[in-house]
Amino acid sequence: MNLVIKILTGALAAALAGAMTKAASGSWRKVTGAEPPAADDPEASTRQAVLWAAISGLTVAIAQVLATRVSVRAKKALG
């Protein structure tokens, strides 16, 4: 059962991270009017690239925390 929960947690974290990154990208486009910068884009300022890295990293970290908390609750509920 523990392995199943770990696998489901990973899948949930990946799905949440993808959805949250997509939402963050959409917000970036709405606010700036441009696509999120790539780290290797010479047109993007360092400030923009670092800010996007922080935003996208934060969204992935939040997804991991949420997935872990859901799996802990599911594990407790299943006994």
1 has pLDDT over 70: no
User: Does residue 54 surpass a pLDDT of 90?
Assistant: yes
The mean pLDDT value for 42-60 works out to 93
Q: What is the pLDDT of residues 5-30, one digit of tens each?
A: 888 888 988 999 999 999 999 999 99
Contacting residues for 57 by C-beta, under 8 A, at least 6 apart: none
Please state, in angstroms and rounded to a whole number, the distance separating the CA atoms of residues 49 and 9. 30
Look up the pTM and report it: 0.79
Q: Give the pLDDT confidence score for residue 57 in this predicted structure.
A: 94
